[in-house]
Amino acid sequence: MNNKHLDISSEVKEALKSGKPVVALESTIIAHGMPYPKNVETAMKVEELIRREGAVPATIGILNGRLIAGLSKEQIDYMGKEDNIYKVSRRDIAYMVANKKDGATTVASTMIIAEMAGIKVFATGGVGGVHRGAETTMDISADLDELANTNVSVVCAGAKSILDLGLTLEYLETKGVPVLGYKTDELPAFYTRKSGFKVDYNIQKPREFARFIKTKEELGLKGGNLIVNPIPKEYSMDHNLINKVIEEAILEAKEKGIHGKDTTPFLLSKIKDITKGESLEANIELVYNNAILGAKIAKEMSKI
């Protein structure tokens, strides 16, 4: 909590000091995930839902080279409408700080800053993973290595279904990252509750997650935990339809030579267009759902 490049909002600092539950949130979804003002409205609603559950939200970002845990409403609005916000992963943090740049944090960089601040639970939409064709491209998200090394538990709706979910799970197993399902045996695939792949453990209650996280800490086992929370049934998209849409989007990305960090934004944008906005609404609802679970887990952890 004493990093000279880190600013913690007074609300978050007081909560951490007094042992109140705190939930970290990323800012890439604000700067790069959806159009203004929908992005800011969504971010503020997520914070409101966390507060309703009795926890304190800490939206994380980088402004003028300062790492911030607990962006203000004005700062979130700025991130939502400013065009020149960098997408920041682990490799980019030092450059952003050294050059006083503005950056929106991905899963990996949010985890890093959350750990610096002393926040142990982070709620997001979906994590990155192993991209399809990675056996030749080596395109693997930095999120996975961060989960192996950084002591933050990530609540999400699984890995994005544009990825190779089987290889993503294999990679997580190799890195020793537990994949914990909330009331599910099956890995959710972001827009849909189904994937055909199994999680490591089916956890029924938020306090069981808290006990798991605490026990792992006591054992001195390094790294985070991936907590997967299926999108609510009423917002889940048809598994076969979404796979067909993804295949179309991936084919177009290949034809246009899109690769690396540009791949995911392109694919998500194409999926939104093909589904006539249905995927965006599903995305928003699963983020709300994850924020609520994240707050419940953080609350149970504060009791231990």
What are the catalytic residues? 26, 160
CB half-sphere exposure, 92, CA atoms < 13 A? 23
The DSSP H or E segment spanning 169 is helix 165-174
Cβ within 8 Å of residue 109, ≥6 positions away: 60, 88, 89, 90, 92, 93, 103
Token output for 273: 């267009």
Tell me the three state secondary structure of residue 110: helix
Q: Work out the burial of residue 136: count CB atoms within 10 Å of its CB; fewer than 13 is exposed, 13-18 middle, 19 or more buried.
A: exposed
Distances (CA, A) of 34 to 30, 43, 78, 156, 269: 7, 11, 14, 18, 9
Rounded-to-integer distance, Cα 221 and Cα 215, Å? 9
Hey, how many other C-beta atoms are within 10 angstroms of the C-beta on 48? 12
Hey, how many other C-beta atoms are within 10 angstroms of the C-beta on 291? 27
